Structure 1
Amino acid sequence: MKFTLSSTALSGKLNALSRVINSKNSLPILADFVFEITGNKLSLTASDNENTMTTAIELNEADSDGSFAVNSHDLLEAVKGFSEQPITFEINNNERLAKIVYQNGHFSLPIESTDEFPKMQDVTEDATQITLPDSILAENINRSIFATAQDELRPVMNGIYFDLTPDCLAIVASDGHKLVRNKIFTVKSEQPASFIMPKKPANLLKSILGKEGMEASIIFNSRNAKIEYGDTQIICRLIEGRYPNYSSVIPQSNPNQLTVDRSTLLSALKRVQPFANGSSNLVRFHIEGSTLQLDAEDYDFSKTATESIMCDYNGMPMNIGFKGSSFIEILSNFECQDINIQLADPSRAGLVLPTEQPEDQDVLMLMMPMLIND
């Protein structure tokens, strides 16, 4: 079997696929890329036994159909430095070798049969499908994934929750201390459905989704999801279990409202937060009139910091504590100029919203306060 293709096209696809492969694998063949040639099309596959990613490349020429597996690390190292040029694979199944020929030389790698490569179960039974623009899916995954947990006792919190309702598609992530809820009003269904996507396939989607005006399709049932985007397909095993009722923790009325420039507050927090206590990371917000004062202290090491910034505040004077590093993460995952912070009292959750919502969306982030000693 012999086929020719573009070196840069191959290198780009292999780099994307390599993110699926684990450093340690339960089966030796899971360290391989699978090549499958059908007609003038090459399908490339990588898997970790829970996530399988497949992508396709048009071949310049091919003399027959067939398949083989080759070690991912060896092949990536060999092709990553190539300039744009045609490269030819000559497959010798008897000697179990792939000879790769390029402009100034060639190299050979051992190949394996694909018979032992695991096949992910396709999503067919009782499946629900949603379709949305790639840019919106990418934005919402980027905005949410930082808020997922690392909790062995509550695995449902370790993924991103997709909640399809008659009103919208809600994309939610929470670690119990902070929460992100995105509503997309252009995607809805009279038949409610939901699933929890693990972080790894979410990160794989982050790496391939662009802003090219294409659409991504998600087909899911109770166990698996299949995401189709352009010439790439990801099949992933979902996190099983019931996600907590996220709506119940979102306050319906926080009367004290603070509007502030996001970049200004983010910069001030980054300066003050390193002075906070190492274990609690507590930063005190003192809000009164048109001034927001940030205070951090670590008396064990005789460190303190204070900074004041201008704001627009409509409410009673308040002292409230937040975890500085988490608030920095929240501010970093907005793109708007001004944010609105809605507060009730120092013991109840604070809401952070953009002053201008994205079109046909509603974005909300929530932070639980920390106890402060006045």
Structure 2
Amino acid sequence: MQFTVSSDQLHDALKTAKRGSARSATMPILEDVLIREKEDRVTLRGTDLEAHVKTSLPVQMEPTMGLDESVAEATEATLPVDRLTSTLKELPDMPVEVTIDTEGKVTLETDQGSYEMQGHQAEDFPDLPEMDPEEEMDAAPLEGALEKVAFCMSEDALRPAMEGVFLDAEGNAVVATDGHRLSRVQMEVPLNESVIISRAGVSLMQRVIGEGTTLAIGEDRAWVVLRGEGTSVYSRLIDETYPNYESVIPDNNDKTLRVNREEMVGATKRTGIYSSSMTNQIRLTLHPDRLTLDAEDVERSSEAEEKVFCEFNGEEEMEIGFNAEYLETVLSKTVAEEVKMKLSSPNRAGLVRPVGDEDHLMLLMPVMINGHG
């Protein structure tokens, strides 16, 4: 195989495929990217066995006539992607000639020099999962939903179902929760059965998803594939039962706080600096026309207090504690000018809704503060 291509285009395509590759793999070949000749294009694919990223780009393929036999017969191989991308990154955009032989030797030729490296033979590279898509949906509407919920995915390996995003076909919702926070976007999920997309799959899909992309679920419901223009992401689904998230969403929070979102984010960030490093706790004290945020780090003799104008319909003053980092993140996952917090008592979950985006609901569990055992 021998072809000529722009160094920048090859670099970008390799970077895309590399996102699927393993790091420090027990199988060294998984650190490579597979390259395969296909008429006047080459396809590139990286995998860590849990996900595959496949992309392609047009090239000027050299006719096999006149090539060395070992080059002419090479139609696929694996590329040492780290060394190759590092080389291409340091080159100006220029035509590069890539030559690959049947032993996996890769040669890069430019006007400035030549570079040789050794890949592996392609037969040892894992195959793509066999996909007989049972269901397919337009993926574009998922783009915004994933952005709004992905931050709530759990990192607890003991709760694998929560380590992904739940596409709830029955409840028509996209959901993620880590047990402390929950984010749900109500939207049509046109699937026959619900699925859980892994953290790695979500991260890879967010780089590709957009207008014209489709999401397909395999018949065995083991894999999901997102197909975009020139790039596809395959991800193994999480084979677990998602927890009954609806059961933790309170429906009788009768106290409403309405506040400017940016002012609340700023006050939370600044006050949180003075919270205990052990608990990261801040206290919210709600009055009809103002909200007081305060935090104290006894060990470092530090404290802070801020006031923010708000609307609060509670008949009495109310105190509730939250993890400052969690509260800040929840408030930052919307661009709404104002947010509403629905509260009940200091030991019950609070609900956050962006004003003007009623399909998006976030839940935040409180932390106990002095006087509320």
Q: Same fold (TM over 0.5)?
A: yes
The CA distance in 1 between the partners of 2:205 and 2:143, in whole Å, is: 7
Which residue number corresponds to residue 260 of structure 1?
A: 259
The CA distance in 1 between the partners of 2:321 and 2:184, in whole Å, is: 22
User: Which structure 2 segments of 5+ residues have no match?
Assistant: 65-73
The CA distance in 2 between the partners of 1:215 and 1:270, in whole Å, is: 37
> Over residues 10-64 of structure 1, what are the superposed CA-to-partner deviations in whole Å (9 max), with x where a residue is unaligned?
1111112222223211211111111101101110000111111111101133435
1:137 aligned residue (137, 142, 145): 142
1:158 aligned residue (159, 163, 169): 163
Range with bigger deviation, 46-55 or 250-259: 250-259
Contact kept? 2:16, 2:55, Cα under 8 Å: no
Q: How does 1:137-216 map onto structure 2 within 5 Å?
A: 137-165=142-170, 168=172, 170-185=173-188, 187-189=189-191, 191=192, 193-210=193-210, 213-216=211-214
The CA distance in 2 between the partners of 1:42 and 1:335, in whole Å, is: 41
- TM-superposed CA distance for 1:267, in Å, is 0.5
- TM-superposed CA distance for 1:113, in Å, is 1.0
Which residue number corresponds to residue 95 of structure 2?
A: 86
1:116 aligned residue (109, 121, 124): 124
The CA distance in 2 between the partners of 1:175 and 1:146, in whole Å, is: 9
The CA distance in 2 between the partners of 1:218 and 1:327, in whole Å, is: 35
- TM-superposed CA distance for 1:120, in Å, is 3.3
> Over residues 284-329 of structure 1, what are the superposed CA-to-partner deviations in whole Å (9 max), with x where a residue is unaligned?
1101111010010122221111100101222232111111110011
Contact kept? 2:217, 2:224, Cα under 8 Å: yes
Contact kept? 1:20, 1:53, Cα under 8 Å: yes
TM-score of the aligned structures, taking structure 2 as reference length: 0.91
SS of residue paired to 2:13:
helix
Contact kept? 1:285, 1:294, Cα under 8 Å: yes
Which residue number corresponds to residue 368 of structure 2?
A: 371
SS of residue paired to 2:201:
helix
Which residue number corresponds to residue 320 of structure 1?
A: 320
**Larger strand proportion, structure 1 or 2?**
1
Identity percentage over the alignment? 28
The CA distance in 1 between the partners of 2:314 and 2:63, in whole Å, is: 74
Matched residue pairs, number? 360
Which residue number corresponds to residue 284 of structure 1?
A: 283
The CA distance in 2 between the partners of 1:277 and 1:91, in whole Å, is: 58
User: Which structure 1 segments of 5+ residues have no match?
Assistant: none
The CA distance in 2 between the partners of 1:218 and 1:335, in whole Å, is: 30
RMSD: 1.8
Contact kept? 1:16, 1:207, Cα under 8 Å: no
TM-score of the aligned structures, taking structure 1 as reference length: 0.91
The CA distance in 1 between the partners of 2:217 and 2:157, in whole Å, is: 27
Structure 1 residue ranges, 4+ long, deviating more than 6 angstroms after superposition = none
